[in-house]
């Protein structure tokens, strides 16, 4: 009860009149003609995004324009990129950057559009129409993982050198946080930045670095202070990737997300000026944590479209594939299962939109965002596994989208905040996490 009241009062606080009218029509039961979902080709798509609580016509226009770029500049090449195990980040990011899509929420002083987070979510949802997980993930690192802290806390000089070209698509960014011995346990990273006059000397290594083999700079998290206070001794540093001492040791051979290059990187006495520290020294960990909510919501948003697509593709396939004299789809277990999974997608979408609405109204949505991340990783595995079964032998080949997404989306429960970490967060909010 309390939650609903808080939620509704927050909706009223939203300045956007369109949100208010949507609230009235949805919660006060005025007639909103909800157009029935139809798949893109045969089964249509939700052309009724306008009725969604966090979107207005601007979001739809953004999505339509982005869709054109995806259809013409990205999707035709995805199969080849997957085969090559590499996609040309520079080229793709430049195309997106020129159209303004890499700086949606970034400050206008540096080429961004200064829009609110709902536009990031709209963009993430549209990126889900790319026929692989690797490219949206790489774009997400550029827009929502490597750059938010810089945009919020970096000096003007740093922003001009690193943020501006990342927004225009001239620079490829990567995020250097995870290490071989520290993924979920970020506080335990070993990479050190020792002070030497006006410079920092970086020693250590990073692991699982998306865009790592192509990046021009890295947003690096390193220990720069006393060993004792693990949450207060780290700094975020803008590290140009062409400095001597940086070695791209390995391009990791992964089960999925194959067109996205993931690197293991070593630092040996890498010298970087202390002025490259983003914001205050020692605040790196806190800065990085501030954007966790957005990262988790992004992960959920990117999954909605591909999961929807797989349901429709599976319906299409099982309609024409016959066994024992009739289409597979006419078996109740199959069409009922698809309906169950479609329900789950809408539940995830509702959780996502509600969380986003609360977030842009200024609330702390850590618990709900963690739930979004947890649910999206698990739903992706469940849904794609169920659908793949109905594809039979075809589902097991590398010629179909469902098998690629099966491999790609297994990562969601692991990266960007493992399921177990999300569960711990939720337990904390329930006050049931052992001290």
Partner 1 sequence: MSAYRVLVGCKRVIDYAVKIRVKPDKLGVVTDGVKHSMNPFDEIAIEEAIRLKEKKLASEVVAFSCGPTASQETLRTAMAMGADRAIHVEIDGKEAETLQPIHVAKLLSKVAQEEKIDIIMLGKQAIDDDCNQTAQMTASLLNWPQATFASKIENDNGSFKVTREIDGGLETIKVKLPAVISADLRLNEPRYATLPNIMKAKKKPLAKKKPSDYGVEVKAHQQVLKVEDPPVRQAGQKLETVEDLVVKLKDGGFV
Q: Does 36 bind partner 1 (CB under 8 A)?
A: yes
Work out how close the CB of 387 gets to partner 1 at its nearest, in angstroms, rounded to a whole number: 21
Considering only residues 56 through 85, tell me which ones interact with partner 1, judged by CB under 8 A: 57-58, 60-62, 64-65, 68-69
Q: Does 104 bind partner 1 (CB under 8 A)?
A: yes
Nearest to 121 by CA among 184, 198, 63, 195: 63
Q: Taking CB under 8 A as the rule, which mask of x and - marks residues 111-150 in contact with partner 1? A: --x-x-----------------------------------
Work out how close the CB of 134 gets to partner 1 at its nearest, in angstroms, rounded to a whole number: 23
Which position among 7, 20, 23, 38 is part of the footprint of partner 1 (CB under 8 A)? Answer: 38
Work out how close the CB of 69 gets to partner 1 at its nearest, in angstroms, rounded to a whole number: 6
Task: Give the pair of three-digit tokens for residue 107.
Answer: 């400050």
Which position among 6, 24, 27, 44 is part of the footprint of partner 1 (CB under 8 A)? Answer: 44
- Residue 362: how many other CB atoms lie within 10 Å: 9
Work out how close the CB of 108 gets to partner 1 at its nearest, in angstroms, rounded to a whole number: 9
Tell me if residue 179 is catalytic: no
Identify which of residues 64 and 424 has a Cβ nearer to partner 1 in the complex.
64
Work out how close the CB of 111 gets to partner 1 at its nearest, in angstroms, rounded to a whole number: 9
Judged by CB under 8 A, the number of residues near partner 1 is 26
| Cα–Cα distance for residue pair 376/387, rounded to 1 Å | 16
Options 82, 295, 308, 313, the catalytic residue:
295
Q: Does 47 bind partner 1 (CB under 8 A)?
A: yes
Q: Does 107 bind partner 1 (CB under 8 A)?
A: no
Identify which of residues 69 and 286 has a Cβ nearer to partner 1 in the complex.
69
Work out how close the CB of 319 gets to partner 1 at its nearest, in angstroms, rounded to a whole number: 13
From 33-41, 191-199, 209-217, 421-429, span contacting partner 1 (CB under 8 A): 33-41
The gap from C-alpha 248 to its chain's centroid, in whole angstroms, comes to 24
Identify which of residues 45 and 366 has a Cβ nearer to partner 1 in the complex.
45
Catalytic residues: 295
Summarize as ranges the residues that interact with partner 1 (CB under 8 A). Answer: 35-36, 38, 40-42, 44-45, 47-48, 57-58, 60-62, 64-65, 68-69, 98-101, 104, 113, 115
């Amino acid at each position: 009860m309390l939650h609903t009241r808080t939620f509704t009062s927050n909706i009223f606080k939203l300045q956007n009149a369109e949100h208010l009218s949507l609230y009235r029509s949805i919660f006060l039961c005025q007639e909103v003609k909800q157009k029935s979902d139809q798949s893109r080709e045969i089964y249509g798509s939700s052309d009724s995004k306008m009725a969604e609580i966090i979107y207005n016509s601007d979001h739809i226009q953004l999505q339509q324009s982005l869709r054109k770029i995806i259809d013409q500049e990205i999707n035709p090449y995805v199969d080849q990129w997957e085969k090559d195990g590499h996609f040309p980040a520079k080229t793709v990011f430049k195309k997106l950057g020129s159209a303004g899509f890499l700086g949606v929420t970034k400050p206008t002083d540096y080429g961004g559009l200064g829009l609110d987070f709902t536009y990031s979510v709209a963009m993430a949802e549209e990126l889900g129409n790319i026929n692989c997980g690797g490219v949206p993930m790489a774009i997400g690192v550029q827009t929502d993982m490597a750059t938010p802290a810089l945009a919020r806390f970096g000096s003007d000089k740093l922003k001009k050198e690193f943020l501006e070209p990342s927004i225009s698509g001239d620079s490829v960014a990567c995020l250097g946080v995870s290490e071989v011995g520290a993924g979920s346990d970020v506080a335990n990273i070993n990479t050190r930045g020792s002070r030497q006059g006006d410079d920092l000397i970086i020693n250590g290594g990073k692991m699982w670095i998306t865009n790592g083999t192509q990046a021009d700079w890295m947003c690096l998290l390193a220990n720069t202070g006393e060993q004792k206070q693990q949450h207060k001794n780290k700094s975020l540093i803008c590290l140009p990737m062409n400095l001597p001492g940086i070695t791209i040791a390995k391009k990791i051979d992964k089960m999925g997300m194959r067109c996205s290059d993931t690197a293991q990187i070593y630092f040996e006495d890498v010298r970087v000026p202390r002025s490259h520290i983003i914001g205050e020294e020692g605040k790196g960990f806190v800065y990085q944590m501030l954007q966790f909510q957005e990262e988790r919501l992004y992960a959920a948003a990117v999954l909605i479209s591909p999961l929807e697509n797989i349901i429709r593709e599976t319906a299409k396939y099982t309609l024409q594939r016959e066994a024992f004299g009739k289409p597979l789809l006419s078996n109740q277990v199959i069409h009922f299962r698809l309906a169950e999974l479609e329900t789950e997608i809408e539940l995830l979408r509702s959780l996502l939109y509600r969380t986003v609405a609360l977030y842009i109204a200024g609330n702390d949505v850590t618990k709900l965002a963690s739930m979004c991340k947890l649910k999206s990783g698990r739903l992706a595995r469940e849904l794609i596994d169920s659908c793949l079964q109905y594809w039979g032998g075809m589902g097991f080949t590398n010629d179909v989208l469902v098998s690629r997404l099966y491999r790609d989306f297994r990562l969601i429960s692991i990266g960007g905040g493992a399921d177990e970490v999300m569960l711990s967060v939720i337990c904390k909010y329930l006050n049931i996490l052992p001290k």
